[in-house]
Structure 1
Amino acid sequence: MANQKDSMIQALIDYMEQHEQVMTTAESCTAGLILSELASVPGSGHLIDSGLVVYSPEAKQRYLHIDEEIFEKYSMTSEVLSCEMAKGALNNTQATIAVANTGIAGPAPSDDGTPIGTVCFAWAFRTEAGDHLFCETRQFDGDRNEVRLAAARHALSRVSHYHEQCLNNAADA
């Protein structure tokens, strides 16, 4: 398992270097694990701008400038919120990639009934053709920390996939 994780992260590092990308994160349920996983490879620091752990709505508003209306209209575990988090992170840093997530790692479901293991992700990219935003929701099994780690690795595993879509969309334009 460790070799699979290491090869995925090394492939991402190679991809980011090839495309001159720098990452920031806005993490809720993973609490910094996305960036920690990337930083676990020696020499990856030049690919990292910053990382925010923003659990509370107040922290999301303060650091990512998310409108209070988002919290009133949508669940704390929603793709809308994860997208706003990614946009806020991208707009407040020098990064070219922002990865964000919000979800329920456990031990109990959310007040709105969202099941344990539900995580909403967003990836925002700044390219010469403009900004691009992608989101998805996934369900992970396991205890709290297994969900958090699986979510962090999933977030990283999708970066090059979505960045390639940005490049393909720009080429088609």
Structure 2
Amino acid sequence: MDIPRQVVSFLSSRGLMLATAESCTAGYIASLISSVPGSGSCLDVGFVTYSPTGKAGFLGVREDTMKQFGLTSEAVAREMSEGALAQEACCADVAVSNTGVADAPPEGGPPPGTQCFAWSFKSRDGRIQTFSETRRFEGERNDVRREAALYALSRIEHYFNGRSQR
């Protein structure tokens, strides 16, 4: 199964544009999409915001959210994907975000391989509906990053179909 190709086909067939807001995957999601011929019709913009200041400054993630829930949290992932869609120059209807730890976390942090995701969808009236999940992947650092990127893409159609119609 070629997940990036399926996602490009899905987005293109519906006239949807995608934005990515990536931390742990560091652009891997956007890279997988852009590897598919014709992806220019559905990939709008990608943000790589590894640091807390990047998440806050470029995507509007609130410092309170990062402090209260931690960087590896669904709350941060949600604010990342919603923040990508809120950017003035962003033309996307769909955003996917990822934040997590690929290998040994700081002491007291989440287990290695923990990844938080969010998928946001902008309706015609400008409202945003967001879904989020936390998953754990096994393997070496780059294996975790690749699996997380593929997983993030694999759930776009699922959540698109599950959103409420307004």
Report the TM-score range of the alignment, normalised by the length of the smaller protein.
Answer: over 0.9
**Which of 103, 113, 116 in structure 2 is aligned with 1:117?**
113
TM-score, normalising length: structure 1: 0.90
Number of the residue aligned with 1:71:
66
Q: Does 1:83 align with 2:78?
A: yes
Number of the residue aligned with 1:102:
99
Number of the residue aligned with 2:122:
126
| Matched residues, number | 163
Query: Deviation at 1:94?
Result: 1.3
Matched AA of 1:17: S
Q: Does 1:137 align with 2:137?
A: no
Number of the residue aligned with 2:49:
54
Q: Does 1:162 align with 2:147?
A: no
Q: Does 1:21 align with 2:34?
A: no
Matched AA of 1:53: V
* Aligned 8 A contact 1:124 1:134 in 2: yes
Structure 2 stretches lacking a partner, 5+ long: none
**Alignment root-mean-square deviation, CA:** 1.2
1:54 and 1:16 mapped to 2: Cα distance?
A: 24
TM-score, normalising length: structure 2: 0.94
SS of aligned partner of 2:157 = helix
Matched AA of 1:57: P
1:96 and 1:128 mapped to 2: Cα distance?
A: 9
Moved over 3 A (4+): none
Matched AA of 2:30: L
Structure 1 stretches lacking a partner, 5+ long: none
